Amino acid sequence: MKVVVTGGGGFVGGAICRRLRQLGHDVTALGRRPHPDLTAEGIRTAVQDLAAADAETGLTAIFAGVDCVFHTAAHVKMWGPRETFVRGNITATHNVIAACRAAGVARLVFTSSPSVVAADRDLRGVDESQPYPSRYRALYPETKAAAERAVLAAHGTGLQTIALRPHLIFGPGDTNLVPTILRRARAGRLVQVGDGLNLVDLTFIDDCVTAHLLAAAALDEREAAGGRAFFISQGTPVRLWEWIGRVLALHGLPPVRRRMSASTALRVATVAEGLWRTLGLASDPPLTRFLAEEMATDHYFDIAAARRELGFVPSCDVWQATEQSFGQP
């Protein structure tokens, strides 16, 4: 199978590229810059800005003869100009869809996020019937939801599409979740928000990759899977702050001592966002409303549909994956 992975140099995209290469597929990692490390592993690389004015033309050439595109590239930030999120998540995705059609690509697997249904309340065991909210606290989930809707709407004759919503991906090679936790902890800036009892889902990178490959296969084998989104996780929600404590311990760091109520955190975040917006600051605020809510609320999801339609079975629970990722050999 000939495959292109957008965002192939990233955490999820790189892991998908490596798994596909190990399985003997012809893989191209597509990104904004070359990745010599992937080239050294026998993975072809291509350079293209997905949101550029000529992106559709460039992508169509890259997608020629390709059987499946995994679209993992995204602008993942908590703060920034709207136009940057629109370009990185919406414009880029529309260009990928158009190029798939122009090049005759049969399958498109999109890496979405559970944040597309995030609301300012707990999400406890919700399934894919959970609607998109009427408003969003942040630009990332708002633009990611628009991209997901575009991908699912594109499903039909000639191009089959599917979207996956893996939650809080971690494991070897992680460049975002755990590194951010460790960086804040080492700087003395990690603060527990809420009572510490909130339950969350997490997704081990190995199982995230497996889900993507199963999704691509399902587009050939299970007609009912096409044009749909699926939640992906280990299927075993854990207390967020207990898990963070274990991650810190495995890295030789002390537990979190500082605490802030959810209501206080939301007020602080509201003030911070207002100040950053007024001053036009390019840096990230110390806290945003979306992040404050994510750290204090329950957000775990029913993965029954992924089990049933994709054949997805997590290889282990969150605690086993955590020990496997960060424990001593």
Mean pLDDT over each residue of the chain, to the nearest integer: 94
The mean pLDDT of 238-263, rounded to a whole number, is 95
Average pLDDT for 291-302: 92
Measure Cα distances from 183 to 178, 186, 192, 248 in Å.
Answer: 8, 5, 15, 11
193, β-bridge pairs: 260
Using the CB atoms, write b or e for 237-270: b if 16+ within 10 Å: bbebbebbbbbbeeeeeeebeeebebeebbebbe
> Dihedral through CA 170, CA 46, CA 151, CA 95, nearest 10?
140
Q: Based on the residue annotation, tell me whether 140 is a catalytic residue of this protein.
A: yes
Indicate if the pLDDT at residue 328 is higher than 80.
no
- Using one digit for the tens of pLDDT, what is the confidence trace for 77-118? 888 899 999 999 999 999 999 999 999 999 999 999 999 998
CA angle, 144 then 148 then 153, to 5°: 150
Residue type, 81: P
CA distance 281 to 181: 23
Overall average pLDDT of the 257-280 stretch: 91
Q: Is the dihedral of CA 301, 306, 311, 312 positive or negative?
A: negative
Least confident of 163-172, 290-299, 304-313: 290-299
Q: Are 313 and 307 in contact (CB under 8 A)?
A: yes
The 10s digit of each residue's pLDDT in 8-29 is: 999 999 999 999 999 999 999 9
Collect all residues with Cβ–Cβ distance below 8 Å to 287 and sequence separation of at least 6: 265, 268, 269, 272
Query: CA torsion, points 151, 171, 222, 66, in degrees to nearest 10?
Result: 60
Domains of the chain: 2-167+203-233+301-315 (3.40.50.720)
Chain segment 178-202, per-residue pLDDT in tens? 999 999 999 998 999 999 999 999 9
The predicted-structure confidence for 54-76, as pLDDT tens digits, reads as follows 999 999 999 999 999 999 999 99
Q: What is the mean pLDDT of residues 251-275?
A: 92
- CA 297/CA 206 separation, integer angstroms: 26
Strand partners, 2: 26
Phi-psi region of 103 (alpha: psi -120 to 50; beta: other; left: phi over 0): alpha
Instruction: Please state the rounded mean pLDDT for residues 259-282.
Output: 90
Are 316 and 324 in contact by the 8 Å Cβ rule? The answer is yes
Are 114 and 168 in contact by the 8 Å Cβ rule? The answer is no
Whether 286 has a pLDDT exceeding 90, the answer reads no
Look at the pTM and tell me if it is higher than 0.85. Answer: yes
Q: What is the 3-state secondary structure (H, E, C) of 269-311?
A: HHHHHHHHHHHCCCCCCCCCHHHHHHHHCCEEECCHHHHHHHC
Does residue 170 contact residue 202 with C-beta atoms inside 8 Å?
A: yes
Tokens matching residue 314 = 């997590």
Total H helices, total E strands in the chain: 13, 15
pLDDT of 223: 83
Angle 269-273-276 from CA coordinates, rounded to 5°: 135
What local confidence, expressed as pLDDT, does residue 154 receive?
A: 97
DSSP code of residue 227: T
120 pLDDT more than 80: no
Q: Which of 132, 136, 140, 300 is catalytic?
A: 140
Rg (C-alpha) for the chain, rounded Å, is 19
Rounded to the nearest 10°, the torsion over CA 209, 213, 219, 223 is: -80
Average pLDDT over residues 233-240: 96
Q: What is the pLDDT of residue 42?
A: 87
> Is residue 137 very low, low, confident or very high in pLDDT (cuts 50, 70, 90)?
confident
Question: What token pair was written down for 246?
Answer: 């274990």
- Condensed to tens digits (0 to 9), the pLDDT of residues 142-174 reads 999 999 999 999 999 899 999 999 999 999 999
Kindly tell me if the per-residue pLDDT of 329 is higher than 70. Answer: no
